[in-house]
Amino acid sequence: MPISLKILVMGTLISVLFLCGCATNRSVVDISLPVLGEISKSNGKEIFINSVIDNRKFEIKPSEPSTPSLDPGEEQGDKIKLRAIARKRNGFGMGLGDILLSEDKSVDLLINTAIRQALIENGYKVVSNKEQITNNTYIVDAKINKLWSWMNPGFFAITLSTEISTEIAVKNNNITNEKVVSVNSSDTFQTGIDSNWVEVMQSALKAYISELKLKIK
């Protein structure tokens, strides 16, 4: 192999290792929602978040990094899946360790909180208990079809992306309005350290709240 080609290959390998720049094992991160934005004047409506269901589908060896999957060498199970939000990959696209929410949080709780925040900012009074529901109360049921972050390698930088997609059903007086709320947030980074993953995830949550506010008036 010519010396120039060896140098190129070695440089590429070093770049891949540098850009990946993250621990290969499972990580636990804390995702906080953006602070409350401008709150609209009360619209006089009460609303109750009845259910938020994690409907995501995990695969063992997905063909696309945007498909949820877990490191087979780590603890598995439904409780872990409820906390799983990303899968690390090396510079060649090979799956590594997972990224989980902290033990006191889950994907459905995260989206529940995001929905609540969007409704409050839109002027709704969010009812906390079923006992407070009246005939005029709006009822919200949500399914989480997508909430996942992934990495796409590049020569000089990596791209971290987060996609969120939910089905939201709002029922009032036997009339149900269904909405699909989907957002995607991406950014480039020099490394895949946990704080960079958190940054792009929080950006997606902010976009999700803004989009939900447009869909539920």
Query: How confident is the model over 111-122, as pLDDT tens digits?
Result: 999 999 999 999
pLDDT-based confidence at residue 22 (cuts at 50, 70, 90): low
Q: Cβ distance 182 to 164 under 8 Å?
A: yes
Query: Which of 28-32, 65-69, 90-94, 137-141 is least confident?
Result: 90-94
Strand ranges inside the chain, DSSP E: 27-29, 46-54, 84-89, 95-101, 125-127, 138-152, 158-172, 175-189
> What pLDDT score was predicted for residue 91?
67
CA–CA separation, 119 vs 179, rounded Å? 14
Q: pLDDT tens across 186-196, in order?
A: 999 988 899 99
CA–CA separation, 180 vs 142, rounded Å? 10
Q: Cβ distance 203 to 162 under 8 Å?
A: yes
CA-closest candidate to residue 209, choices 169, 171, 164:
164
> What pLDDT score was predicted for residue 35?
81
> What pLDDT score was predicted for residue 168?
98
Which residue type does 59 have? E
Question: Please, what CATH class does the domain formed by 43-215 belong to?
Answer: alpha beta
* Percent of the chain at pLDDT exceeding 70: 88
The rounded mean pLDDT for the chain is 87
Range list of H helices, the chain: 3-20, 78-83, 107-121, 194-215
pLDDT-based confidence at residue 23 (cuts at 50, 70, 90): low
CA atoms within 13 A of residue 140's CA, in its CB half-sphere: 29
pLDDT-based confidence at residue 206 (cuts at 50, 70, 90): very high
CA–CA separation, 29 vs 39, rounded Å? 29
Q: Higher model confidence: residue 9 or residue 142?
A: 142
pTM, whole model, 2 decimals? 0.86
> What pLDDT score was predicted for residue 18?
39
